[in-house]
Structure 1
Amino acid sequence: MSVLPAALQLGSLRVETPVVLAPMAGITNAAYRRLCAEQGAGLYVCEMITSRGLVEGDTMTRSMLVFDELETVRSVQLYGTDPVYVGKAAEILCAEYGVAHIDLNFGCPVPKVTRKGGGGALPWKRNLLGEILEHAVRAASAYDVPVTMKTRKGIDADHLTYLDAGRIAEESGCAAIALHGRTVEQAYSGQADWSAIAELKASVGIPVLGNGDIWEAADAIRMVEETGVDGVVIGRGCLGRPWLFRDLAAAFAGDEVATLPNLGEVASVLRRHAELLCQHMGEERGCKEIRKHIAWYLKGFPAGGELRRAMALVDSLATLDVLLAELDPTSPFPVLELGTPRGRQGAPRKRVVLPEGWLDDTDGSGCVIAEDSHDTSGG
Structure 2
Amino acid sequence: MTSTSTRARPLQIGSLSLDVPVVLAPMAGITNTAFRRLCREFGAGLYVCEMITSRALVERTTETMRLISHHESEVPRSIQLYGVDPTTVREAVTMIVAEDRADHLDLNFGCPVPKVTRKGGGAALPWKHDLFRGIVTEAVNAAGSIPVTVKMRTGIDKDHLTYLDAARFAQDAGVSAIALHARTASEFYSGHSDWSAIATLKEAITDVPVLGNGDIWSDSDALDMMYQTGCDGVVVGRGCLGRPWLFGDLAAAFRGEPQRFRPGLGQVIDTFRRHAQLLAEFFDSEERGCRDIRKHVAWYFKGYPVGSDLRTRLATVESLEQLDELLASLDASVPYPGDDAEGPRGRSGHPKRPVLPEGWLDSHVIAGRDAHDIHEAELNTSGG
Q: Would the TM-score normalized by the shorter structure come out above 0.5?
A: yes
Q: Say whether 1:91 aligns with 2:94.
A: yes
In structure 2, relative to structure 1, the CA distance for the partners of 1:364 and 1:374 (3 Å cut) is closer
SS at match of 1:185: helix
Q: Do the aligned partners of 1:215 and 1:338 also contact (CA within 8 Å) in 2? A: no
1:283 and 1:374 mapped to 2: Cα distance? Answer: 28
Equivalent in the alignment of 1:250: 252
In structure 2, relative to structure 1, the CA distance for the partners of 1:272 and 1:339 (3 Å cut) is closer
Equivalent in the alignment of 2:181: 180
Structure 1 residues 84-163: aligned runs within 5 Å: 84-141=87-144, 144-163=145-164
Q: Do the aligned partners of 1:30 and 1:67 also contact (CA within 8 Å) in 2? A: yes
SS at match of 1:153: strand
Q: Do the aligned partners of 1:113 and 1:375 also contact (CA within 8 Å) in 2? A: no
Q: Do the aligned partners of 2:248 and 2:260 also contact (CA within 8 Å) in 1? A: no
1:376 to 352, 376, 381: 381
SS at match of 1:27: coil
Equivalent in the alignment of 2:287: 284
Output the amino acid matched with 2:364.
T
| Worse-superposed segment, 234-243 or 255-264 | 255-264
Q: Do the aligned partners of 1:50 and 1:80 also contact (CA within 8 Å) in 2? A: yes
SS at match of 2:227: helix
Q: Say whether 1:363 aligns with 2:368.
A: no
In structure 2, relative to structure 1, the CA distance for the partners of 1:337 and 1:364 (3 Å cut) is farther
Q: Do the aligned partners of 1:120 and 1:184 also contact (CA within 8 Å) in 2? A: yes
2:182 and 2:263 mapped to 1: Cα distance? Answer: 30
SS at match of 2:179: strand
SS at match of 2:99: helix
Q: How far is the alpha carbon of 1:69 from its aligned partner?
A: 2.3
2:302 and 2:281 mapped to 1: Cα distance? Answer: 26
Q: Say whether 1:38 aligns with 2:38.
A: no
Output the amino acid matched with 1:283.
E
Output the amino acid matched with 2:101.
G
Q: How far is the alpha carbon of 1:7 from its aligned partner?
A: 1.4
Q: Do the aligned partners of 2:116 and 2:379 also contact (CA within 8 Å) in 1? A: no
Equivalent in the alignment of 1:262: 264
SS at match of 1:375: coil
Q: Do the aligned partners of 1:307 and 1:323 also contact (CA within 8 Å) in 2? A: yes
Equivalent in the alignment of 1:198: 199
Q: How far is the alpha carbon of 1:321 from its aligned partner?
A: 1.1
Q: Please give the per-residue CA displacement for 1:293-328, whole angstroms capped at 9, x wherever unaligned.
A: 111000111011111111111111111111111111
Equivalent in the alignment of 1:10: 13
SS at match of 1:47: coil
Equivalent in the alignment of 1:70: 73
Q: Say whether 1:223 aligns with 2:204.
A: no
Q: Do the aligned partners of 2:58 and 2:91 also contact (CA within 8 Å) in 1? A: yes
1:322 to 318, 321, 325: 325
1:55 and 1:116 mapped to 2: Cα distance? Answer: 21
Unaligned runs of 5+ in 1: none
Alignment TM-score, normalising by the size of structure 1: 0.96
Q: Say whether 1:336 aligns with 2:344.
A: no
Q: Do the aligned partners of 1:61 and 1:374 also contact (CA within 8 Å) in 2? A: no
Q: Do the aligned partners of 1:127 and 1:365 also contact (CA within 8 Å) in 2? A: no
Q: How far is the alpha carbon of 1:329 from its aligned partner?
A: 1.4
Q: How far is the alpha carbon of 1:331 from its aligned partner?
A: 1.8
* Amino-acid identity (%): 59
Equivalent in the alignment of 1:353: 355
SS at match of 1:190: coil
Q: CA RMSD in A?
A: 1.5
Q: How far is the alpha carbon of 1:43 from its aligned partner?
A: 0.4
1:120 and 1:37 mapped to 2: Cα distance? Answer: 29
Q: Say whether 1:29 aligns with 2:32.
A: yes
| Worse-superposed segment, 297-306 or 327-336 | 327-336
Output the amino acid matched with 1:285.
R
Unaligned runs of 5+ in 2: none
Q: Do the aligned partners of 2:44 and 2:248 also contact (CA within 8 Å) in 1? A: yes
In structure 2, relative to structure 1, the CA distance for the partners of 1:161 and 1:194 (3 Å cut) is same
Output the amino acid matched with 2:137.
E
Q: How far is the alpha carbon of 1:60 from its aligned partner?
A: 2.6
SS at match of 1:150: strand
Output the amino acid matched with 1:191.
H
SS at match of 1:343: coil
Q: How far is the alpha carbon of 1:357 from its aligned partner?
A: 0.6
Output the amino acid matched with 1:375.
N
Q: Do the aligned partners of 1:53 and 1:373 also contact (CA within 8 Å) in 2? A: no
Q: Do the aligned partners of 2:84 and 2:377 also contact (CA within 8 Å) in 1? A: no
SS at match of 2:149: strand
2:9 and 2:186 mapped to 1: Cα distance? Answer: 35
1:322 and 1:162 mapped to 2: Cα distance? Answer: 50
| Worse-superposed segment, 150-159 or 326-335 | 326-335
In structure 2, relative to structure 1, the CA distance for the partners of 1:43 and 1:278 (3 Å cut) is same
